[in-house]
Amino acid sequence: MNNPFSYKAYKRQVIGGVIAVFVICVAAIFLFNIHGYNTPYGAPWDIGSAAFFPGLIALLLAVLGIFSLISQWQKNDKTAQAKPVVNKSPSKVVISYCFITLITLALPWLGIWLTAMIIVPALSLCFGERRWKMLLLLSVLPPFIIIHLFEDVMGIYFPTGVFF
Amino acid sequence: MDFDIFYQGLTMLTNPWTLLALSIGLASGIMIGALPGLTATMAVAVLAPFTFFMPASIGIPFLLGIYKGAIYGGSIPAILVNTPGTAAAAASAKDGYELTKQGKSRKALQVSLYSSVVADFISTLILIVIAIPLASIAIRFGSSEFTLLYLIALTMIAMVSGESFLKGLIAASLGLLISSIGLDPMSGYQRFTFGNTDLLAGISLIPLLIGVFALSEILMQISKPEQSAQSTIDRAQNNEGLSWQEFWSLRPTILRSTTIGCLLGSLPGLGAEISCWIAYGVARAKSKNPKQYGKGSLEGLAAAESGNNAVVPAALIPMTVFGIPGDTVTAVLIGALMAQGMMPGPLLIQQNPGFLLGLFLVLLLTNVLLLLFGLGAIRWLKNINQIPASVLYPCVLLLCICGTYAVNSSTFDLFILVLGGGIGYIMRQQDYPIAPLIIGLLLGPGLESSIRQSLVFSDGSLSIFWTRPISLVLLIVLTIVIAFIGIKIFRSRSQSDNNSSPNLTPKKTEDSL
Amino acid sequence: MKHRLSKLLLSISSVTLGLALQSTQAYAETSHLPDEPIRFVTPYPAGGSHSLHAGLITAVGESFLGQPLISVIRGGGGGAIAAAEVARSKADGTTLLFGDPTINSLRPQVEDLPYKIDDFVAVARINYSPAIFVTSPNQPFQTIKELVSYADTNPNKVIYSSDNRNGFTYTVFEILKDQASINMRGVELGGGGPAITQLLGGNTMAYAGDPSVVGEHIKAGTLTPLCVTDTQRLAAYADVPTCMEEGYNVVFQFWRGILAPSDTPEATVSELSERFEKLTQDPGFLRLIGKIGSEIQFLGHKEFAKALTAEQEALRKAYIK
């Protein structure tokens, strides 16, 4: 574990395992729902019922998840090493993603104008844009064009938010 | 009499207003298709009421122009920024964007345009010549035939899974499972909604698609250092166009995909979204160098694009012959035709053959216009990756947010967008293929309901799948396809047996198919 | 010359501006309507007859309501999503639902949906259309009586195209089965398009649908009409009997109507009702409605509310015994 490559490969393997567990959990939630109290969607093993098809797929997914977990276990470091790890700055991605999520989900309250005017320059900042004039331009021009395109040309209106 | 019909058709073609309406429709269609979230269905539905005030010879070509333009336009952002503008362009993103990354965006755009136009042209000729016999076969397709068709389509997962079949299967099952969320139309059960009202409608496909493709691409771009170096490479190689020889070598692929698109399009209910994947999968199976697929193959792009564009004229077949919508866009078109006092169907052919002929001629003309418009657009679009990433991607993000909201006017869809973005990013980082997820999502509802409908038809007996003649043929095709894929996987496994860990794939094939 | 033209233009624009100002003032004085755009929510995806009607209403709506009428197409869950959303929205007349009997009368009573019947107050009914029972010409039955006797001697052998569970077609067939005490099998195909395809392709034996869906096939002779689920014959299909004439009490009128959240003030509701009545009398609107093969059977808010209660009562009796 002392050379950087095998450390990354190890990390990759762990993430792969976490995903496999996650897949199994998703399948389990669906399976519990189908087979659970009162079998809410009809008999799970009757082909004509609403429960059969998702039940079958969820079972398949669970089995596949277990296989995936086993294969992560068995995987030797060689295969993982062969692939170069592209991601150089995961924390930047996580921060950007959280920010995008936050602003996007706040759209009903912020309103389309505020959302657009915050998210465009902010993402540009993430991409390394530092000229404040450019950021100012980005906060005005793209939102103006895009929102007018949707609202006035296409007739699709967005929430105006609580501030207007 | 016959000459009269022909003359009437020609006058429509030579009417300058028709041409103008067609051009405007086509241009706006390309633009709408290129914007993520705005689909052909929505564009036609939004603009249809305006055509009520126009004469039929102007209004209907206008809508047809939008329809064709939108299906083509979806491929542009798919190629340039890995953001399919419509679901039908998802398969084009796979190889198209790889080509852009290699600095061959101009070539990719040209392949997409030429194969779209060729496929559309051939398909339109088929519509004109054999619409009626084709439609009378297509209408015999019942639920059991559709079930088998969906299963054949599902086997394409093996073709698009890339290196790991296991990961492909996981992605596909996840897609199928997600697609079962929501109100079940047959039983009325609210499945997996966990008491959430928004989940009643299920997970909307387009927001998820935008998230998985576009948002995850933006996240990938953020994590990538040294943007500037990359774009200079692009600039240097940007002018390389498509040579005639390259295009000529794509001929069998395009013809095959056109046939597939045409056949699927003429079946009511199977749209361009599904046909592009089948065309892509078949092209890969038939290809001499399948390894190239997913890594910037011109063949793959041509197959996907001709596969989805061939559907457009073919979807008009059930509409013109029986008055049945071939897909959601034609459903809106039927409404627009009705508003003009012309109900498509058997009566239109008898009562208004001149108009119908004019419409067919207009369809052929649309292809010529599409070629011209496309060439004009490519001149500008090839420069799009000279825009710095710090300007391009924020704008793409805003377009995605607006487009997502526009689909259903729903804020819950925004949640699906960001969730899809996160899932897509993790999948890419871990080499999970995205295509099977999309195929699963697309096929899930149709597959499930057609199986259950078949069982209602047969009163619970599975014999319906082999007692009907067309079903039997399809069942044999399905068996051959599965055997073919099984052999291929077995071979590739025994080839790579010594250098990779034991794989469980061949055993799983039967379960999934 | 140029000078005169610009003067003329100026005077015209000032007159129109003045008129516009006056009219908004007139609205402001007496109106109980909200002073912001009104959202007109269509609960089905684009492409059906519902969204076609909504498109026409919203296209001309502004000049009658004094506010822009924004068409919001919010499909999903067979209409339940949009209904739940409107039910939860602010009750001041800014959000209206373009409802129908399955959303507003039937499904909240028989399914566990996130809204209730009482969440809505009736504003105006625009029109209704009955269903026409149809079959294809090569079936062993060509009248509704023959269908019933065939189904009686061959129980569970008649397969018909249905739309969705508790949908329009589903419901009329349930009523027919109940009235004639016969057994038939319905295949839920998810909509009118696939339903009619399966009938034409010979996979199913009967269907019941909106005149706009089956009408052209009846005229072309590719489908045979059996009976109409209305109290009187349709003008366009005068030789098709009503189901009641044939002895089966199957009456189901698929109305398209406007509803508001239940706490909307009485004054607002009655004013909206008046405005929509004027809209449905407009010759331009009527011409457009005629083009899509539809008519207007307007009911004001009071009559509509009465009809709605009666319908809900009847369906409750038919379904929950």
pLDDT tens for chain C, 321 residues long, are: 334 444 444 444 444 444 444 444 444 456 778 877 888 998 887 666 787 788 888 888 888 888 888 888 787 777 888 898 899 888 888 899 999 998 898 888 888 888 888 999 999 999 888 889 999 998 999 999 999 999 999 888 899 998 888 888 888 898 898 888 888 988 888 777 788 888 888 889 999 988 877 887 888 888 899 999 988 888 888 889 999 988 888 888 889 999 999 999 999 999 999 999 999 998 888 888 877 767 888 999 999 999 999 988 888 887 775
Residues of chain B with pLDDT under 70: 1-2, 225-239, 495-513
Residue C57: CB atoms within 10 Å = 24
pLDDT value of position B504 = 40
CB-CB contact of C237 with C219 (8 Å): no
| Tokens of residue C4, six digits | 């005169």
| Side chain identity, residue B241 | G
Report how far residue B105's alpha carbon sits from residue B100's, in angstroms, rounded to the nearest whole number.
4
- A146 closest CB neighbour out of B222, B399, B460: B399
pLDDT value of position C3 = 44
Report how far residue C71's alpha carbon sits from residue C78's, in angstroms, rounded to the nearest whole number.
18
CA distance C286 to chain B (A): 12
Q: Find chain A residues with C-beta within 8 A of C71's C-beta.
A: 155
Report how far residue C84's alpha carbon sits from residue C73's, in angstroms, rounded to the nearest whole number.
14
* CB pair distance less than 8 Å for B398 and A142: yes
pLDDT value of position A75 = 64
* CB pair distance less than 8 Å for A57 and B180: yes
Per residue of chain A (164 residues), what is the pLDDT tens digit? 445 556 677 777 888 888 889 999 999 988 888 887 777 787 778 777 888 888 899 999 999 999 888 888 776 544 444 454 555 567 888 888 999 999 999 888 888 899 999 999 899 888 887 888 888 888 889 999 998 888 887 777 888 877 76
pLDDT value of position C225 = 92
| Side chain identity, residue B495 | Q
Q: Tell me which DSSP letter residue A84 carries.
A: P
Q: Find chain C residues with C-beta within 8 A of B37's C-beta.
A: none
Q: Find chain C residues with C-beta within 8 A of A157's C-beta.
A: 37, 70
pLDDT value of position A64 = 92
Residue B338: closest C-alpha in chain C:
C292
Report how far residue B220's alpha carbon sits from residue B214's, in angstroms, rounded to the nearest whole number.
10
* CB pair distance less than 8 Å for A123 and B218: yes
What does the pLDDT look like over B372-391, one tens digit per residue? 998 888 888 877 777 888 88
| Tokens of residue A96, six digits | 């950007």
Residue B437: CB atoms within 10 Å = 27
CB-CB contact of B49 with B62 (8 Å): no
Report how far residue B240's alpha carbon sits from residue C17's, in angstroms, rounded to the nearest whole number.
57
* CB pair distance less than 8 Å for A157 and C71: no
DSSP string, B302-320: HHHHHHHHTHHHHHHHHHH
Q: Strands, DSSP E only, in C31-183? A: 38-42, 69-73, 95-99, 120-130, 132-135, 159-162
Report how far residue A21's alpha carbon sits from residue A17's, in angstroms, rounded to the nearest whole number.
6
Q: Find chain C residues with C-beta within 8 A of A155's C-beta.
A: 70-71
SS3 A64: helix
Backbone φ and ψ of C61, nearest 5°: -60, -40
| Side chain identity, residue A57 | I
Give the DSSP H or E segment for C256: strand C253-261
Report how far residue A93's alpha carbon sits from residue B218's, in angstroms, rounded to the nearest whole number.
9
CA distance B409 to chain C (A): 7
Report how far residue A138's alpha carbon sits from residue B398's, in angstroms, rounded to the nearest whole number.
11
pLDDT value of position C321 = 59
> B501 exposed, middle or buried (CB, 10 Å; 0-12, 13-18, 19+)?
exposed
* CB pair distance less than 8 Å for B502 and A41: no
271-330 of B, contacting A, C-beta below 8 A: none
Nearest to C203 by CA among A79, A15, A163, B471: B471
Report how far residue A111's alpha carbon sits from residue A98's, in angstroms, rounded to the nearest whole number.
19
The per-residue b/e assignment along B24-40, b for 16 or more CB within 10 angstroms, e otherwise, is ebbbbbbbbbbbbbbbb
| Side chain identity, residue B277 | W
pLDDT value of position B497 = 52
pLDDT value of position A82 = 46
Q: Tell me which DSSP letter residue C128 carries.
A: E
Interface test with C, best of A157, A158, A162 (most C CBs within 10 A): A157
Residue with tokens 């909106």: C210
Classify the C-alpha dihedral C261-C263-C265-C270 as positive or negative: positive
CA distance A153 to chain B (A): 10
Residue C71: CB atoms within 10 Å = 25
pLDDT value of position A81 = 47
Residues present in chain B in total = 513
CB-CB contact of C262 with B310 (8 Å): no
Verdict on whether the full-model pTM lies above 0.90: no
* CB pair distance less than 8 Å for B49 and C55: yes
* CB pair distance less than 8 Å for A155 and C37: no
Residue with tokens 């009903």: A108
| Tokens of residue A89, six digits | 């700055």
Residue A117: closest C-alpha in chain B:
B398
Please state the separation of Cα B3 from the chain's center in Å: 38
Which chains pack against B, by 3+ Cβ pairs within 8 A?
A, C
Report how far residue C84's alpha carbon sits from residue C107's, in angstroms, rounded to the nearest whole number.
12
CB-CB contact of B45 with B389 (8 Å): no
Distances (CA, A) of B300 to B210, B287, C107: 21, 9, 47
